[in-house]
């Protein structure tokens, strides 16, 4: 409090430095005049005694006004929304302060208009991409029907590629929705086992094509989260595991001693140690992704962003030539046992 008062006094003297120096100048001129005309010093002293209190009174009045204005502004700063900041009493405002207030009002209005315009443009862009995605799905569905006439090896390969196109289209839409992700949340109690099995079933053709074993063990428990976005996280992690695993298996389980976690473990090519801290960064593909030449670097980035919004924590460990392990930790959320 003492430091704050000292700072306030220093600011008061600084703002009124011109008046103080003017008073000192007048006092010096008085002293020079009295000296030249050989006026008794007691007259000079009386002049100082009569005028100095006026300076003190002036500074006190200025200090009171400054204090009231400062307290009012501090009160406004504590408000969640500054709706009435411009409704200050006119007697408290100087000409320059009134000008600054008008400038701030104009800038605020322009900023609000720009924000509304940007939101409108983002909504139009979102609507356009949504419509475009749905339109693209029609020829993709027709293409999928045409693929049925091909021989089995060609048929499987082409179906996988059309499926990937659909997935990338969905990823693009989800990326756009991330700008207002919280408005899209719908929290409910979901079964971990049910969600995991649905995702594995969705990518079953890739497991079969690459002859990868999938091991689902100890998937117990329920959590309160958004099923659509939680499934998206699982899809990105599991599909990454499929892409970078050539032989072996992918294991998805809940540790017995940590029922709040879901672990996705693969026997793939692994990630370099120096790349691990950056795997969740936007657009980062790393050495493994560059070798694959198909990585966008968006999947894990989006998963991490969505996980944070859902209150989940993603952890990744990996060793080159051994495999990768990704853990979805929902310990911050409410977890229920199915037993």
Phi, then psi, of 155 in degrees rounded to 5:
-60, -45
- Per-residue pLDDT tens for 132-183? 777 777 777 787 777 777 777 777 778 788 888 888 888 877 887 777 777 7
Q: Is residue 326 pLDDT above 90, yes or no?
A: yes
pTM of the model: 0.61
pLDDT band at 339 (very low <50, low <70, confident <90, very high): very low
Sequence-separated (6 or more) residues with CB below 8 Å from residue 255: 218, 261, 263
Return the pLDDT at 337: 46
Place of tokens 């207002």: 180
Q: What angle do CA 5, 7, 9 make, to 5 degrees?
A: 70
Q: Is residue 10 pLDDT above 90, yes or no?
A: no
Distance of alpha carbon 231 from the chain centroid: 21
Torsion sign over Cα 37, 41, 47, 48: positive
- Closest to 84 in 3D by CA, of 95, 93, 76, 94: 76
- Per-residue pLDDT tens for 263-316? 999 999 999 888 888 888 887 776 655 555 455 668 888 899 999 999 999 999
SS3 58: helix
- Per-residue pLDDT tens for 199-210? 999 999 889 888
| Dist CA 261 CA 219 (whole Å) | 10
- Per-residue pLDDT tens for 31-46? 888 878 888 888 788 8
Number of helices (H) and strands (E), helices first, in the chain? Answer: 10, 8
Neighbours of 199 (CB within 10 A): 21
Could you tell me which residues are beta bridge partners of residue 222? 191, 336
Return the pLDDT at 84: 53
């Amino acid at each position: 409090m003492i430091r704050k008062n000292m700072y306030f006094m220093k600011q008061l003297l600084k703002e009124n430095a011109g008046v103080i120096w003017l008073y000192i100048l007048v006092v010096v001129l008085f002293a020079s005049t009295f000296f030249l005309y050989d006026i008794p010093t007691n007259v000079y002293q009386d002049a100082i005694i009569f005028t100095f209190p006026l300076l003190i009174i002036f500074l006190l009045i200025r200090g009171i006004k400054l204090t009231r204005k400062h307290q009012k502004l501090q009160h406004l700063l504590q408000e969640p929304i500054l709706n009435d900041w411009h409704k200050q009493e006119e007697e408290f405002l100087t000409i320059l302060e009134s000008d600054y207030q008008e400038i701030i009002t104009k800038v605020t209005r322009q900023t609000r208009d720009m924000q509304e315009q940007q939101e409108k443009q983002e909504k139009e862009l979102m609507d356009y991409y949504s419509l475009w995605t749905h339109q693209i799905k029609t020829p993709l569905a027709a293409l999928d029907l045409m693929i049925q006439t091909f021989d089995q090896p060609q048929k499987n390969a082409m179906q996988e590629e059309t499926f990937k196109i659909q997935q990338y289209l969905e990823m693009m839409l989800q990326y756009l929705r991330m700008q207002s992700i919280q408005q899209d949340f719908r929290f409910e109690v979901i079964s971990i086992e049910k969600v995991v099995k649905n995702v594995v079933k969705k990518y079953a053709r890739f497991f079969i094509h690459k002859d990868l074993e999938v091991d689902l063990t100890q998937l117990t428990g329920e959590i309160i989260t958004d099923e659509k976005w939680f499934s998206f996280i699982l899809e990105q992690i599991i599909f990454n595991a499929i892409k970078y695993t050539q032989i072996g298996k992918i294991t998805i389980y809940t540790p017995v001693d940590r029922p709040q976690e879901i672990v996705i473990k693969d026997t793939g090519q692994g990630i370099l140690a120096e790349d691990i801290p950056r795997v969740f960064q936007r657009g980062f593909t790393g050495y493994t992704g560059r070798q694959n030449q198909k990585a966008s670097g968006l999947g894990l980035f989006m998963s991490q962003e969505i996980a944070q919004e859902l209150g989940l924590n993603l952890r990744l460990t990996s060793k080159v030539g051994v495999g990768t392990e990704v853990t979805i930790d929902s310990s911050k959320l409410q977890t229920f046992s199915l037993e």
